[in-house]
Amino acid sequence: MFWRRCQQICRLNYRLVSNIAPVMGRDLGLGASTMNTAVAITSLFSGIFIVVIGGLADRMGRVRIVRIGFYLSILGSLLVGLAPAGRLASPFLLTGRALQGLSGACIMPASLALVKTYWDGAARQRAVSLWSIGSWGGSGVCALFGGLMTQSLGWRYIFFASILVALFGLLLMRSTPESRAATQYTYHIDLAGLITFMIAMVALQVVVTQGNKLGWTSPAALILIAVTLVAGFLFFRIEARSSAAFVDFSLFANPVYTGATVSNFLLNAVAGTLIVSLELVQLGGNMTAQQAGLLTLGYAVAIIAFIRVGEKLLQRFGARKPMVWGCLITGVAILFLSPANLLLTDYRVLAIIGYTLFGVGLAFYATPSTDAALSSLPESQAGAGSGIYKMASSLGAAFGVAISAAIFTALSTNTDSARWMEGIITFYGRQDNVAIRTAAMIALMFNVLMVAAAIMSIMLTIPHGKKAH
């Protein structure tokens, strides 16, 4: 289905780097901090622009915006695939990843608005399920695909393959009818709000990803924190007074939309689980990218196989129960991935179970959450509202990955960080990688906290029953 292909391209672009980051870093001569930025920057740029582009899609045409997203995906993948080693490596890589983020900002809200426009009721729930297979399932396929491609042909061919998939997507959408908001209106880009939001998000991202390198109390880090706070304050002031705010806070007057969006942000933040656990087995266990990717096979299969189960649970119980169940299963999955103190042979078994449960949990959550958000939107704000919902996804993933990676990077290079766990946890096997294993355990606990917060937000906002939205 066309929408599933759209979302698979977005998620492949987002997550592929998480599994192959160590290999790419070595080939390009880039450090861990730069690679952490490269992993997170795609979701960051998607999150920054997704609402504005969602509003443009309502006015200019949703199919047209999806096509633009494909073109940006092709250009971004080309830059990453051709990135040379040396001084130009960082500009090529980061620019390409940013363009891939803009691609997602075009494709995700516009395609989701098309789902709302062309389907309703049970048919829309099925369409959302298929859309979610691409949106969430793409992230399950990417680690496996990335590892296999890296081992067989080299990591650059992953991005060349992404170009071919984007071209195929353009071919699939040739006959897709155009769609715009029923009530045409003059759309004004909230430039002041967008600029202050972008400054705040970029400054915060730099602090999170580069704080360990800069020094958390260094003048540069303190200045960036100050910029984040000031720009964030100005953003809320501007949006509160603007008649054309790009983030329409009035949508959050609906508690169901609020709960779906906030929990979506928090559950996407657990994307950091993937980068930490995959780097753990590669850096701490000397596994190849292909071997690490194979551990995630159950994740890829489960998330695709159980998406429709989430749809059926939504139809039977309403949104609240499957959203909570999905979060709980995801939390249990992270706990399975956390005992890095075990021997690698034992950890691999737990990792296979953990990744599979991770896919089941996200699959249970995806369709009920997305349908709850869509059902709360008026038709005239389908693109913008979908954009805010997907902005929550992108920013949650960006900061979840950035924070998890920052914790892991900071602690894994500090051998003293593991000493406080002596006498509390016994590390079996090799002792030269205890710092890496300790860092992974702590970083994964951050992701457990995100799951707990997501459950709390759902319990406070999403009512019981089938008519939750």
pLDDT at 5: 46
Mean pLDDT, rounded, for 213-228:
87
Q: Which of 248, 273, 274 is CA-nearest to residue 261?
A: 248
Task: State how far the Cα of 430 lies from the Cα of 416, in Å rounded to an integer.
Answer: 17
Task: Give me the residue spans of the domains in the chain.
Answer: 2-173+246-461
**383: pLDDT strictly greater than 70:** no
Task: State how far the Cα of 56 lies from the Cα of 180, in Å rounded to an integer.
Answer: 10
Note the pTM of the prediction, 2 decimals.
Answer: 0.76
Q: Which of 264, 280, 265 is CA-nearest to residue 18?
A: 280
- CATH assignment of 2-173+246-461, among 1.20.1250.20, 1.20.120.1200, 3.90.1150.10, 3.30.70.20: 1.20.1250.20
Contact, 371 vs 308, CB < 8 A?
no
Task: State how far the Cα of 35 lies from the Cα of 220, in Å rounded to an integer.
Answer: 20
Task: State how far the Cα of 71 lies from the Cα of 55, in Å rounded to an integer.
Answer: 19
Give the type of residue at 302.
A
Higher per-residue pLDDT: 405 or 337: 337
290: left (phi over 0), alpha (psi -120 to 50) or beta: alpha
Give the type of residue at 247.
V
**469: pLDDT strictly greater than 50:** no
DSSP 242: -
Torsion angle (degrees, nearest 10) of CA 38, 43, 49, 51: 180
Confidence of residue 353 (pLDDT cuts 50, 70, 90): very high
Q: What is the pLDDT of residues 91-146, one digit of tens each?
A: 999 999 999 988 988 888 788 778 777 777 777 777 777 776 766 666 666 666 66
Q: What is the pLDDT of residues 269-313, one digit of tens each?
A: 998 898 899 889 988 888 887 788 788 888 878 888 888 898 889
Higher per-residue pLDDT: 317 or 467: 317
Q: What is the pLDDT of residues 95-104, one digit of tens each?
A: 999 999 889 8
Q: Which of 331, 358, 320 is CA-nearest to residue 457?
A: 320
> Residues 6 or more apart from 62 whose CB is under 8 A from it?
110, 111, 113, 114, 117, 178, 179, 180, 383
